[in-house]
Amino acid sequence: MTVVSSAFKNKRRLPPCRAACPAEVNVQGYMALLQQGKFKESVELIRKSMPFPAICGRVCFSPCQDACSRKNIDQPVGIRYLKRLAADIEREQGRIKPDAVPKTHNEKVAIIGAGPAGLSTAYELAKLGYPVTVFERMPEPGGMMRYGIPDYRLQKYVVANEIAYIQDLGVEIKTGVEFGKDIEIDTLRNEGYKAIFIANGTQLSTKLGVPGEDLEGVFPAVEFLRDVSLGKTVDVGEKVAVIGGGNSAIDAACTSLRFGAKEVTVLYRRSRNEMPALPHEVEAAEKEGVKICFLVAPKQIIGEEGRVKLIECLRMKLGEPDASGRRRPVPIQRTEHTYGVDTVIPAIGQMPETSCLPSILLDERARAISVDQLTLETKIPGIFAGGDVVTRPASVIEAVGAGKRAAVSIDRYLNGANLRTGREEEIEETTWVKDWEKITRKSERYTAPHIDIGRQKVSFEKADELLTKIKAVATFEARRCLECGLCTECLGGEELCEADKAVVDETLCIGCNVCAIVCPFEAVKKNETGVAQVNEDLCKGCGTCSASCPERAIGMQRFTDSLILTNVAATLGEPT
């Protein structure tokens, strides 16, 4: 990064939720729409930022919600739940079917891997009018969303429905095509693809590196979950030990229970605080009966006649922090102990398949693709990469963020534009609250009433009534949003919200300064000539200045005085 470029950093002010989201989803905006009961519109607003509202509403680790300012008062707004609800309502009432975007560009783009990273790039480029083809070797697109995360957390039809939206836009997805076997960089180039995005994820399970790993009855988590998703029946026996502490460990554990295991134990070498899995998933797993043992690591797997029988472990303690900032587990000598098991599921991480990739693309240790962090361009011009294959196993929303960035780069590359100009940004979190102590009214999070209708049939009237109730609750929850960002944040030009703006009639202003005193956001100041000036970025449109101006020199753009007065007259004119 050169000095010159950093001097031109774009500075943007965003509400904390949006600033925290790798895909920069406009949370404040869809909260504003939900407040008005506009469910479909809110889903469409999310789709402006990313194509997976229902998926993220289920499995996202929701950094937005962790960042939400409302936590300073009571609890963060239930953003993930609201996203899921809005997306589910939209799907169930008939998903919006977008028209295919006309292809205004000739340059074809090839994408390797139909996981969230690849699909998001395709989505963004299709919206820009590029012909895009996604090549996927599995029978169905979706990547880990389809073949990793189990059905009880993320239903296959939900994934299929959101991918169908991307296909509606004109993206072509070719499944059953393997990169490195059926296609290569050269063949793609010969077929006229001008840019390639590689997003093949991390499909290989990391080896435990202990004796006995090749015994029958050892199923690495990724393969295990993939087999389950492919509909294969997997016999896990009665006692299962899962090694690891991430989402895939928890998913493998819960899935084993569903396959008839009686006793499932997750062995994790650090403590609960360091677990990378989503806390509510861990909690749910424990409720289902999964046992979690902390500070233990396997030393060897012992078999009998080639089949797993026992697993020998060592106790651990936490030492100094390692490169990841988490405290490194150190084995305690002579604490060997054994568990009897039928199946061992290692879930300690995943690695990219690098054999299909030219070595020039890989990092020094050949463990990931190395790219320019800002542009995601690899060492070969025109070839970009992103998602897990670059970051190592991360999350859906991070993969989406990478996909979006790659799309910007690819568009620039194909137009011969500089890939970097203006992309370095400094994001500042904003909120209008200056003093959290001042906000004294607390409100508990509104959660939908737990409705257990089981499998009984409900009448249309009853169903309608329930839906109305759920929608009302969601509307209230959305109203807990403090709208930290600038007024225009929620619209981003959507013209969906009814934000107002103050406008000064300079010929009427006498420079009394009342407006500047009453404005809660210090959005009005007098200029050199003594005339009031409204700072558009700061004005949130309350109209307090307008109501206080003795000269009636400040008007509002939307709720003008005359509109309000007309409304007054109109309501009084109505027959009782």
Binding site for another protein (CB under 8 A): 35, 432, 438-441, 443, 468, 472, 475-476, 479, 483, 498-500, 518, 520-521, 540-544, 546-548, 556, 559, 561, 564-565, 567-569, 571-572, 574, 576
> Within 244-273, which residues bind ligand FAD (CB under 6 A)?
247-248, 251
Contact 201, 225 (CB under 8 A): no
Q: Which is nearer to ligand FAD, 140 or 489 (CB)?
A: 140
Residue 284 three-state SS? helix
Instruction: Rule CB under 6 A: say whether 524 interacts with ligand SF4.
Output: yes
Q: At what angle do helices 460-479 and 27-35 cross, to 10 degrees?
A: 130
By three-state DSSP, how is residue 315 classified? Answer: strand
> Which among 126, 124, 156, 153 has a CA at the least distance from the CA of 143?
156
Q: Does 549 bind ligand SF4 (CB under 6 A)?
A: no
Applying CB under 6 A, among 53, 113, 131, 555 the residue interacting with ligand FAD is: 113
Nearer to another protein, 263 or 489 (CB): 489
Binding partner of residue 534 among ligand SF4, ligand FAD, another protein, none, CB under 5 to 8 Å per kind? ligand SF4
Give the CA distances from residue 218 to residues 212, 236, 242, 276, 339, in Å, rounded to whole numbers and listed in that order: 9, 9, 10, 23, 15
- CA 297 → CA 5, 54, 208, 387, 416, distances in Å? 47, 36, 10, 29, 52
For residues 142 and 167, the answer to whether their CB atoms sit within 8 Å is no
State yes or no: residue 523 binds ligand SF4 (CB under 6 A): yes
Contacts of 113 (CB under 8 A, 6+ apart): 134, 135, 136, 143, 179, 198, 199, 200, 201, 387, 389
Among 393, 541, 543, 555, binds ligand FAD (CB under 6 A): 393
Strands, E assignment, 370-440? 383-385, 425-429
232 touches, from ligand FAD, another protein, ligand SF4, none (C-beta below 5 to 8 Å by class) = none
What does the DSSP 8-state code read for residue 215?
A: S
Does the protein bind ligand SF4 through residue 519 (CB under 6 A)?
A: yes
With a CB cutoff of 8 Å and minimum separation 6, the contacts of 490 are 26, 28, 29, 31, 32, 483, 497, 499
Output 380 or 563, the one with its CB closest to another protein. Answer: 563
Nearer to another protein, 323 or 572 (CB): 572
Residue 53: CB minimum distance to ligand FAD, A: 14
Q: Which of 116, 217, 346, 485 binds ligand FAD (CB under 6 A)?
A: 116
Contact call for residue 351 and ligand SF4 (CB under 6 A)? no
Residue 524's binding partner among another protein, ligand SF4, ligand FAD, none (Cβ under 5 to 8 angstroms by kind) is ligand SF4
For position 109 contacting ligand SF4 by CB under 6 A, the verdict is: no
Residue nearer to another protein on the CB measure, 4 or 569: 569
According to the binding rule CB under 6 A, does residue 544 interact with ligand SF4?
A: yes
Shortest spacing between CB 526 and another protein, in angstroms: 20
User: Binding of ligand FAD at residue 225 (CB under 6 A)?
Assistant: yes
- The listed partner (ligand SF4, ligand FAD, another protein, none) that binds 132, CB under 5 to 8 Å by sort, is none
* DSSP string across 350-387: EE---TTS-GGGB-TTSSSB---TTT-B-SSTTEEE-S
Residue 488 interacting with ligand FAD (CB under 6 A): no
Q: Does 173 bind ligand FAD (CB under 6 A)?
A: no
Q: How far is the CB of 224 from ligand FAD (least distance, A)?
A: 9
Rg of the chain over CA atoms, in angstroms? 28
Longest CA–CA span in the chain (Å) reads: 96
Separation of alpha carbons 514 and 16, rounded Å: 32
Q: Which of 378, 357, 377, 352 has the alpha carbon at shortest distance from 367?
A: 352
Exposure of 384 in the CB half-sphere (CA atoms within 13 A): 34
Q: Binding segment for ligand FAD among 6-14, 19-27, 162-170, 396-404 (CB under 6 A)? A: 396-404
201 interacts with ligand FAD by CB under 6 A: yes
State the minimum distance, in angstroms, from the CB of residue 83 to another protein.
Answer: 21
Give 403's contacts (C-beta < 8 A, 6+ positions apart): 116, 117, 118, 119, 120, 121, 122, 123, 124, 197, 199, 386, 387
Sheet containing strand 172-175, edge to edge, reads 172-175, 132-136, 108-112, 193-198, 383-385
Q: How far is the CB of 460 from another protein (least distance, A)?
A: 19
Q: By C-beta, is 182 or 372 nearer to ligand FAD? A: 182
Which residues of the shown chain bind ligand SF4 in the complex (CB under 6 A)? 502, 518-519, 521, 523-524, 534, 539-545
Which residues of the shown chain bind ligand FAD in the complex (CB under 6 A)? 59-61, 112-118, 135-138, 143-145, 148-149, 178-180, 199-201, 203, 222, 225, 247-248, 251, 278, 353, 356, 387-389, 393-397, 399
